[in-house]
Structure 1
Amino acid sequence: MRARTALPVALTVILLGLTGCGAGSGADDDAAGASRSSSASPAQPPASSDTSRNATPGPAVPEALRFTATTVDGKPFDGSTLAGKPTVLWFWAPWCPKCKAQAAETAKVAADRVGEVNVVGVAGLDKNAAMKDFVADTGTSSFPHLSDEKGDIWKRFEVTEQSRYVILDKDGKTVYEGVLPGGQGLAEKVAGLTG
């Protein structure tokens, strides 16, 4: 029987020792506890703290790149994703022989500069089905092509005819706008923006 009564007494003594009973008056202990918890609070982030502040912020999006569109494949496209890198916008029409002649060089520049430069085709002046056929026929599916049937992006960049390039620097400023027959000179213009 003694073992049964000794256990509760031993537990009571241990618990009283852990709670600090007899270490001081209750008022002093409460003040010390409050002081400890308030001094520890600033080290802890507030409950509504935004952990993204430690993340590297993305580049500022220039006005020229604040647009949305749909690709010829029907996927949504956000122009702000182009911010921070030089960008080649290639304005073409599916029935245009000059545009077909530019396709190979444009695709080569896109492949050679992956990760350094954005290359985006902006198709217009026809229906989306013809645009999809053009991309397949010219082998330019390695970079996005926007379906601009209504001409909204063409107007945004003041493009009035097909087979035009608009080249933007990393800050979204137009550094070139014009025709490059067969795409000749495109690689050199892009190299000047990345080197």
Structure 2
Amino acid sequence: MRARALVPAAAAAVLLTVSACGADSGSETTGTGAGSGTAPSTASSAAEQSPGSGDSGDEPAVPEALNFTATTVDGKPFDAKTLAGKPAVLWFWAPWCPKCKAQAAETAKVAAAHEGEVTVVGVAGLDTNNAMQDFVAETKTAGFPHLSDENGEVWKRFKVTEQSRYVILDKNGATVYEGVLPAGQGLAEKVAGLTG
């Protein structure tokens, strides 16, 4: 009986996500706040840090938002704590999403232009790891890491409910932008604002 109740809910969630890929979402949000399309509460304050982080003076403080580990699409371990101390761009994409494919070239260009200053990380979901690997190869975006988030754990952490979204964090781990940038337009300007 419980399985039957879950099937319609799961189907509705998939349909909502799939329809979001083809729609032009105008729910771009900057800063933090409540409601749909806003920054996650876990990343909203640099004051929320892991216990003992930042004690050495050499290592940057690690905000709670970056206190997670994952695996890349090519099977390598990834520790988000390495993102602390400089701005980061998290690009949430799905392998079958045409809007995500349209964002790939600009995202790769920004990642290359700001290498060493800003870390760009793809967060792939909503499909299998094999499909994610194919997407990275086809879009020529292997110049930066992509997380295989098949279970949606990173998506949940940042409260991302649809693919083709960017979450931009400042050097303290606070979300300064969350939203859709069609074809990646505007990404370079947003990143430049954090480095200049």
Compute the TM-score of the two structures, normalised by the length of structure 1: 0.71
1:62 match = 63
1:16 match = none
Superposed CA RMSD: 0.8
Mapped partners of 1:184, 1:62: distance in 2: 28
Cα deviation digits, residues 125-183 of structure 1 (max 9, x gap): 00000000000000000000000000000000000000000000000000000000000
Mapped partners of 2:119, 2:62: distance in 1: 14
Per-residue deviation, 1:57: 1.6
Cα deviation digits, residues 44-95 of structure 1 (max 9, x gap): xxxxxxxxxxx86210111110000000000000000000010000000000
Q: Which has the higher contact order (CA 8 A, sep 6+)?
A: 2
One-letter amino acid of the structure 2 residue matched with residue 123 of structure 1: A
Where do 1:88-167 residues align within 5 Å?
88-167=89-168
Mapped partners of 1:75, 1:130: distance in 2: 17
Mapped partners of 1:165, 1:57: distance in 2: 29
Mapped partners of 1:64, 1:194: distance in 2: 21
1:188 match = 189
2:32 match = none
Q: Secondary structure at the match of 2:99?
A: helix
Mapped partners of 2:139, 2:82: distance in 1: 25
User: Larger Cα Rg: Structure 1 or Structure 2?
Assistant: 1
Mapped partners of 1:167, 1:114: distance in 2: 15
2:36 match = none
Mapped partners of 2:170, 2:158: distance in 1: 14
Mapped partners of 2:57, 2:179: distance in 1: 35
One-letter amino acid of the structure 1 residue matched with residue 74 of structure 2: D
Compute the TM-score of the two structures, normalised by the length of structure 2: 0.71
Report the number of matched residues. 141
One-letter amino acid of the structure 2 residue matched with residue 112 of structure 1: A
Structure 1 residue runs of 4+, over 6 Å off? none
| Structure 1 gaps, min length 5 | 1-54
Identity of aligned residues (%): 82
| Structure 2 gaps, min length 5 | 1-55
One-letter amino acid of the structure 2 residue matched with residue 89 of structure 1: L
Mapped partners of 1:138, 1:68: distance in 2: 25
